[in-house]
Chains A and B, each alone.
Chain A
Amino acid sequence: MSEARELTLEEREASIGGIGTARKRKEDARFIRGQGNYVDDIKLPGMLHGDFVRSAHAHALIKSISTEAALEVPGVLAVVTAKDLEPLGLHWMPTLAGDKAAVLADKKVHFQNQEIAFVVATDRYAAMDGVQKVEVEYEALPPLIDPTTALDDDAPIIRDDVASNDEVGQGPRHHPNHIFEWNVGDKEATDAAFAAAEITIREKIAYPRCHPSPLETCGCVASMDATNGKLTVYGTFQAPHVVRTVVSLITSLAESNIRIVSPDIGGGFGNKVGAYPGYICAAAASIVTGHPVKWIESRIDNLSTTAFARDYHMVGELAADKDGKILAVRAEVLADHGAFNTHAQPMKWPAGLFNILTGSYDIPVGHVSVNGVYTNKAPGGVAYRCSFRVTEAAYLIERLVDVLAQQTEVDKAEIRLRNFVQPAQFPYKSCLGWEYDSGDYPTALKKVMAAVDYAGLRKEQAAKRAAGELMGIGVSTFTEIVGAGPVRNCDIVGLGMFDSCEIRVHPTGSVIARLGTKSQGQGHETTFAQIIATELGIPSDNIVIEEGDTDTAPYGLGTYGSRSTPVAGAAAARAARKIREKAKQIAAHVLEVSEQDLEWEVDRFKVAGSDVSMTMKAIAMAAYSNVPEGLEHGLETAAYYDPPNFTYPFGAYICVVDIDRFTGDVKVRRFYALDDCGTRINPMVIDGQIHGGLAEAFAIAMGQEIIYDETGNILGASLMDYFLPSAVETPTWETDFTVTPCPHHPIGAKGIGESPNVGGVPAFSNAIIDAFAHHGVRHMSMPHTQSKVWQTLNELGLNK
């Protein structure tokens, strides 16, 4: 009888498939076979369908709503209006920003396509037939579309319902269309620094309104079980537990009688954080009819009504010495939030974490002022694949640094090297109030410059310029702030922004773990298993991850703002460590040694200085059969993690473009992205996240914009016009990394999903504008469509 060979330590490590393993995504097996289970795949017996009558106007009074003809349509069971919801107190709903939003238009409409009535029918076709038969009589009001006129004395008042309120959830305001004013930094010292500076630059930089446009639109199936009074809502929720609490608060149903389930989600990017009228109407309709009710957005509904992103109109300034050393930063921002303040971010932060404006740079003093206003446009202001307003801030500072480089005639990479926060300065307290955890910016940029032969590119550019050709080199060295967040300064409707993980080890040594987050494509089933695998010495293939069902998962604040790994990932490591502590007690008991004699080795506890050991697999069985006296059976626990700080991922990107001077076509020749997200859990998943984030950055920079005409008609709310690049348009990415672990995270990880979007957009803009820099161009507004680039070419006479 031959004995199986003992595995080496390395082989045992490899068999775990833990942190650092480029493991294929476990969830892909169902996704690539079309076997995912999305909300529209859910079909319940007796299920009804709802659809909305939507406003034709951007701003109008509703004189009457006639539903009789719709109710005659075969299959139509009900037409719900604000009047029907009012007795239930559901015609308006609170927003995550302390404002309220109309569920169904109450006496007036505030933006085009606003929800006016909800038609419930036996199938989708009948619902649509009914929608066509509802007649709404309007009295048009002058629309307010341009946010720069929102605070004018004679501006049309958009929100009659709050016109006389002193505040609408985020501090004092001074005009019926004003939402908040938020100031941070030392204004006096900043103004003084500007007054004294040798060089100042100032640039108006807009970040246009765009939309996260996930492939799957929003939707839900609400099902009230009349026999037990339990309401179950399946839906596209990035934060299912928060939804449960909010539903309980606004319906007064007991929270234990509400079950929120997020099934597979086809991308969120911030679009699926908030609550939408469709959810409320489907739930109300199910309660009233006793049938499950499904509501699924069309693409037009999604692009024109559920949350948009950005719409920040910024004026940024830098003060510097003649060598380009930055002495102060100043910014004034006008934030267009649309008709209701439904931005989704920690409630104490009306402009999110915009004060990360200092970026990667050691800036002694600064001041930021943000004013939010209402307009007759769809509500929102979500973080589209970024932490709250971080992408706006990163865009502004990365553009301003380029403008300063042009003003001082310092190279655009060199000026960054001159201004970086240096590795020895961490933890670094920024002048706008953050404490950066760790970073090594010079190493990152120098590595990228060497990889692309930056000096060679600049030489080539000089030759091209001499020949009348347009080549641009864009540099972006961004720092993010993610992982919201410390409960002391982050909450949503009063709920601290911790997150959670619950782990159960089964007798045979496999694991189920549940978390308070919710993957929308990020690969949580893969990466969270890897964290637990390394901490517990149990193969990641034997670890099942579950999220999204509030009846089973521990309470958490959900997935957005790159918070899953920084917060829930930390909870997973913490929970696993608690399990390992108990496992150690059991091992000591079984091996009859003291706990102090045991040391951890990959997948087992070993008696120090001997060959005697006990694997986690064996310990798991013992946990259910042979535990020391006084210890409970079983091997399971939960951890709730309140992060001590945010994490600060960073990166250095270089983008090279060639521009067709006759057509305005921009060809991205090269894009080199170095990211530092601290400890790397799964390099393959990280690369996937970076590819996806860069593709969205490319989309935003080159074409994504939600445009309204002067009467408030939304233009191009379909994928014919709204730019989702295909594989053909999307450039090829080269990725690279450095590793600067997060000092306060249990495994040193920082989060990666959003960095490429935050850092990518300025890299594209900087490259395109750099192509024109020798003609004195300092800024061009996004998106850089062919038509707009040609406009610049034409103005400069370069297309002749």
Chain B
Amino acid sequence: MTPGVFEYHRPKAVDEVLALLGQLGDDAKVLAGGHSLVPMMKLRLAEPAHLIDINAIDALRGIRQDGAAIIIGAATTQAEVIASDLLVAKCSILPEAAAQIADPQVRNCATVGGNCANGDPGNDDPAIMMALDASYVLRSQGGERQVAARDFYEGVYATVLADNELLTEIRIPTPAAGVGMSYQKIKRKVGDYAIAAAAVTLAMADGRCADAAIALTNVGDTALFSSAAADAIKGTSVDAAAIDAAAQAAMAAAAPAEDLRGTVAYRTAMAGQMTRRAIVQALSRATGS
């Protein structure tokens, strides 16, 4: 662990962070759990001149119900997500997915905000936030804006987050009772990114799929929201043919690169397979069967 030289800041309040970001711009990097940034710094692939550690700011932590939304503070750890009764009861896909991220040591540090904001297509939370139609609250000295997860990502490590902005919290519309959800991930080993993964939420009414959302992890430059895949099951009884059509749509949306996880053909096929499995599990949860 031999990073380059950097200035270390540990502000106590969000306004201090925003002031530093306003002043330092892209010379600064925000440090939350550090599990993406620190490995890059270790290899000197990232050499930020300033590091702004937000771990002393309690206001950025915690999971709470706020009217019709569930709010997750950006510095909330994956371990806290797993331990949240609120999420287990109302948004189980998040704790279930968090349990598939890395290992306990990593989850004790790694944050939801870092996972969402970093723009790494291998991260798991972005696809889930897309499926849940979550919004990100972005603050700067100039004010606050909300951006839908589905509009946030632009490319590998590229997002709409400006250099002077901080992701402070994630707002998730509370899923209605009876919405089934599932995150299916295939990986090589604990701690690895997905070969492919799929997040599915769906609601059934009168034996028909009333609503659905499907998003994919690590099979493109960003997490991929596939309305075509969701459309393939909406309005259907979610029978084998519909599931097959959704899987085909997911495969059509997927554009993975070949890497040591597998060939393009394999990773594309797994995008379909994970979509298929996530729909089946979400359906069984939605119908209580």
Q: List residues of A whose CB falls within 8 A of some B CB.
A: 124-125, 127-129, 132, 300, 662-665, 703, 707, 715-716, 720-721, 723, 725-726, 728-729, 785-787, 790-791, 794, 799
- B189 in contact with A729 (CB, 8 Å): yes
Q: Residues of A contacting B262 with CB < 8 Å?
A: 785-787, 790
- B190 in contact with A728 (CB, 8 Å): yes
| Leading 9 A-B pairs by shortest Cβ distance | A787-B262, A128-B2, A787-B266, A728-B190, A726-B190, A721-B260, A716-B260, A124-B2, A790-B266
- A791 in contact with B260 (CB, 8 Å): no
Q: Which of B4, B189, B195, B261 contacts A728 (CB 8 A)?
A: B189
Question: Which secondary structure characterizes the binding site on chain B?
Answer: loop
Q: Residues of B contacting A664 with CB < 8 Å?
A: 266
Interface size class of B (residues with CB under 8 A): 20 to 34
How many Å from the CB of B130 to the closest CB on chain A?
23
Q: Please measure, in the bound complex, the distance between the C-alpha atom of A728 and the C-alpha atom of B273, giving whole angstroms.
A: 22
Q: Residues of B contacting A726 with CB < 8 Å?
A: 103, 189-191
Q: Please measure, in the bound complex, the distance between the C-alpha atom of A664 and the C-alpha atom of B4, giving whole angstroms.
A: 42
CB contacts under 8 Å to A, within B186-200, are 186, 188-192, 195
A-B contact pairs, 29 of them (CB 8 A): A125-B2, A127-B2, A128-B4, A128-B44, A132-B44, A663-B186, A663-B270, A663-B273, A664-B266, A665-B186, A703-B189, A707-B260, A715-B260, A720-B191, A720-B192, A723-B188, A725-B189, A729-B190, A785-B188, A786-B186, A786-B188, A786-B262, A786-B266, A787-B195, A787-B262, A787-B267, A791-B263, A794-B269, A799-B269
- A791 in contact with B266 (CB, 8 Å): yes
Q: Please measure, in the bound complex, the distance between the C-alpha atom of A720 and the C-alpha atom of B265, giving whole angstroms.
A: 22
Q: Residues of B contacting A720 with CB < 8 Å?
A: 191-192
Closest Cβ neighbor of A705 among chain B residues? B260
Q: Residues of A contacting B266 with CB < 8 Å?
A: 664, 786-787, 790-791
Q: Please measure, in the bound complex, the distance between the C-alpha atom of A716 and the C-alpha atom of B118, giving whole angstroms.
A: 22
> Which of B103, B266, B269 has the most chain A CB atoms closer than 10 A to its own CB?
B266
Closest Cβ neighbor of A51 among chain B residues? B2
Q: Please measure, in the bound complex, the distance between the C-alpha atom of A715 and the C-alpha atom of B261, giving whole angstroms.
A: 12
Closest Cβ neighbor of A729 among chain B residues? B189
Q: Residues of B contacting A728 with CB < 8 Å?
A: 189-190
Closest Cβ neighbor of A707 among chain B residues? B260
- A129 in contact with B4 (CB, 8 Å): yes
CB contacts under 8 Å to A, within B234-289, are 260-263, 265-267, 269-270, 273
Q: Please measure, in the bound complex, the distance between the C-alpha atom of A729 and the C-alpha atom of B103, giving whole angstroms.
A: 13
> Which of B2, B103, B263 has the most chain A CB atoms closer than 10 A to its own CB?
B2
CB contacts under 8 Å to A, within B43-67, are 43-44
Q: Please measure, in the bound complex, the distance between the C-alpha atom of A786 and the C-alpha atom of B188, giving whole angstroms.
A: 8
Q: Please measure, in the bound complex, the distance between the C-alpha atom of A725 and the C-alpha atom of B269, giving whole angstroms.
A: 24
Q: Please measure, in the bound complex, the distance between the C-alpha atom of A79 and the C-alpha atom of B103, giving whole angstroms.
A: 40
How many Å from the CB of B277 to the closest CB on chain A?
9
Closest Cβ neighbor of A300 among chain B residues? B43
Q: Which of A125, A127, A703, A790 contacts B188 (CB 8 A)?
A: A703
How many Å from the CB of A551 to the closest CB on chain B?
33
Q: Please measure, in the bound complex, the distance between the C-alpha atom of A132 and the C-alpha atom of B44, giving whole angstroms.
A: 10
Q: Which of B190, B192, B269 contacts A790 (CB 8 A)?
A: B269
Q: Please measure, in the bound complex, the distance between the C-alpha atom of A699 and the C-alpha atom of B153, giving whole angstroms.
A: 36
How many Å from the CB of A29 to the closest CB on chain B?
24
Q: Residues of A contacting B5 with CB < 8 Å?
A: 125, 129
A sample of 9 more A-B contacts (CB under 8 A), given A665-B186, A726-B190, A790-B269, is: A125-B2, A127-B2, A662-B273, A663-B186, A720-B191, A720-B192, A785-B262, A787-B195, A791-B266
- A787 in contact with B261 (CB, 8 Å): yes
Q: Residues of B contacting A787 with CB < 8 Å?
A: 195, 261-263, 266-267
Closest Cβ neighbor of B274 among chain A residues? A663
How many Å from the CB of A72 to the closest CB on chain B?
15
Closest Cβ neighbor of B3 among chain A residues? A125
Closest Cβ neighbor of A665 among chain B residues? B186
Q: Residues of A contacting B103 with CB < 8 Å?
A: 726
> Which of A300, A662, A728 has the most chain B CB atoms closer than 10 A to its own CB?
A662
Q: Please measure, in the bound complex, the distance between the C-alpha atom of A569 and the C-alpha atom of B112, giving whole angstroms.
A: 54
> Which of B191, B261, B269 has the most chain A CB atoms closer than 10 A to its own CB?
B269
Closest Cβ neighbor of B261 among chain A residues? A787
Q: Please measure, in the bound complex, the distance between the C-alpha atom of A720 and the C-alpha atom of B120, giving whole angstroms.
A: 15
Write the B131-167 contact mask toward A (1 if CB under 8 angstroms, else 0): 0000000000000000000000000000000000000
- A786 in contact with B195 (CB, 8 Å): yes
Q: Please measure, in the bound complex, the distance between the C-alpha atom of A715 and the C-alpha atom of B260, giving whole angstroms.
A: 8
Q: Please measure, in the bound complex, the distance between the C-alpha atom of A7 and the C-alpha atom of B191, giving whole angstroms.
A: 55
Q: Please measure, in the bound complex, the distance between the C-alpha atom of A729 and the C-alpha atom of B187, giving whole angstroms.
A: 11
Q: Please measure, in the bound complex, the distance between the C-alpha atom of A515 and the C-alpha atom of B24, giving whole angstroms.
A: 61
Q: Residues of A contacting B265 with CB < 8 Å?
A: 794
Q: Please measure, in the bound complex, the distance between the C-alpha atom of A663 and the C-alpha atom of B261, giving whole angstroms.
A: 12
Q: Please measure, in the bound complex, the distance between the C-alpha atom of A794 and the C-alpha atom of B195, giving whole angstroms.
A: 17
Q: Please measure, in the bound complex, the distance between the C-alpha atom of A716 and the C-alpha atom of B5, giving whole angstroms.
A: 27
Q: Residues of A contacting B263 with CB < 8 Å?
A: 787, 791
> Which of A128, A723, A787, A790 has the most chain B CB atoms closer than 10 A to its own CB?
A787
Q: Residues of A contacting B43 with CB < 8 Å?
A: 300
Q: Please measure, in the bound complex, the distance between the C-alpha atom of A129 and the C-alpha atom of B5, giving whole angstroms.
A: 9
CB contacts under 8 Å to A, within B1-48, are 2-5, 43-44
Q: Residues of A contacting B191 with CB < 8 Å?
A: 720, 726
Closest Cβ neighbor of B192 among chain A residues? A720
Closest Cβ neighbor of B258 among chain A residues? A787
How many Å from the CB of B102 to the closest CB on chain A?
11
